[in-house]
């Protein structure tokens, strides 16, 4: 069976969570790191919407990060990520929170948008997460799981817009949860820098083969 191919961009939160799930499932892929400003023709032909991540496996093309997560974990879920999975919490992150995050971070792209108002909308979701984390160490329960992987990468993106403001807010459990992740081997292992893929280049495999 051919090794699946994953088109990815290191800092994209969608690609990051796909890599987290592949890593947890222990599924090796050929990683093709791209530049968003110079997307390879091969990827665009496979996925005309031309956003990452894109996974190709035996002729099957997955163009959404959560579809890749589901595909990987359906094959192997050694950490029990699907236990405690809360789709409503994840969907709220992908919709209401992500919309506010984009308008906060990229306010210049939106006419008549007050970034501070959008930050407050996003903060309502973060307060909700903090309350969950007040009763358990992870969003998935006792251990890091699907909810955490699917949401954390977007919280990281939000926090990095204004670190000083984020750290001054009253969400201690959320801040600790995020910090624990950013200092983890799990995070560092999915954030290694790789050369940009070009046709004919030596394959790079993820997770790295020992």
Full set of structural domains in the chain with CATH: 5-80+191-206 (3.40.30.10), 87-187 (1.20.1050.10)
Cis peptide before 130 (omega within 30 of 0): no
Element housing 137 (H / E): none
Q: How far apart are CA 167 and CA 181, in angstroms?
A: 15
Q: How far apart are CA 126 and CA 178, in angstroms?
A: 11
Q: Which among 65, 72, 94, 91 has a CA at the least distance from the CA of 21? A: 72
Q: How far apart are CA 53 and CA 50, in angstroms?
A: 9
Q: Do you know the residue count of the chain? A: 210
3-state secondary structure of 138: strand
The pLDDT value given to residue 90 = 98
Low-confidence residues in the chain, pLDDT < 50 = 210
Decide if 153 contacts 17 (C-beta within 8 A): yes
The pLDDT value given to residue 1 = 67
Decide if 175 contacts 152 (C-beta within 8 A): no
pLDDT digits (tens, 9 = 90+) for 39-66: 999 999 999 999 999 999 999 999 999 9
The pLDDT value given to residue 208 = 77
Pairing assessment for the beta strands 54-57 and 60-62 based on DSSP bridges: antiparallel
Beta carbons within 8 Å of 40's beta carbon, 6+ residues apart: 7, 32, 34, 197, 198, 199
| Gyration radius (Cα) of the chain, Å | 17
Q: How far apart are CA 29 and CA 6, in angstroms?
A: 6
Helix axes 65-75, 146-161, angle to 10 degrees: 150
Decide if 61 contacts 46 (C-beta within 8 A): yes
Helix axes 98-105, 115-133, angle to 10 degrees: 140
């Amino acid at each position: 069976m051919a090794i699946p191919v994953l088109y990815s961009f290191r800092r994209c939160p969608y690609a990051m969570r796909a890599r987290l799930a592949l890593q947890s499932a222990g599924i090796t892929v050929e990683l093709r790191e791209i530049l968003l400003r110079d997307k390879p023709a091969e990827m665009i032909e496979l996925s005309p919407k031309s956003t990452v991540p894109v996974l190709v496996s035996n002729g099957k093309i997955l163009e959404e990060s959560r579809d890749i997560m589901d595909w990987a974990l359906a094959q192997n879920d050694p950490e029990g990520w699907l236990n405690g999975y809360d789709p409503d919490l994840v969907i709220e992150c992908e919709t209401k929170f992500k919309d506010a995050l984009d308008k906060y971070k990229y306010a210049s792209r939106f006419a008549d948008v007050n970034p501070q108002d959008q930050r407050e909308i996003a903060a309502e979701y973060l307060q909700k997460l903090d309350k969950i984390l007040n009763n358990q160490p992870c969003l998935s329960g006792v251990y890091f799981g699907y909810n955490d992987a699917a949401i954390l990468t977007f919280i990281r993106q939000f926090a990095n817009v204004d670190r000083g403001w984020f750290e001054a807010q009253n969400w201690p459990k959320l801040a600790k949860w995020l910090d624990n992740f950013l200092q983890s081997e799990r995070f560092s292992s999915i954030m290694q820098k790789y050369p940009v893929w070009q046709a004919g280049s030596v394959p790079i495999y993820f997770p790295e083969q020992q």
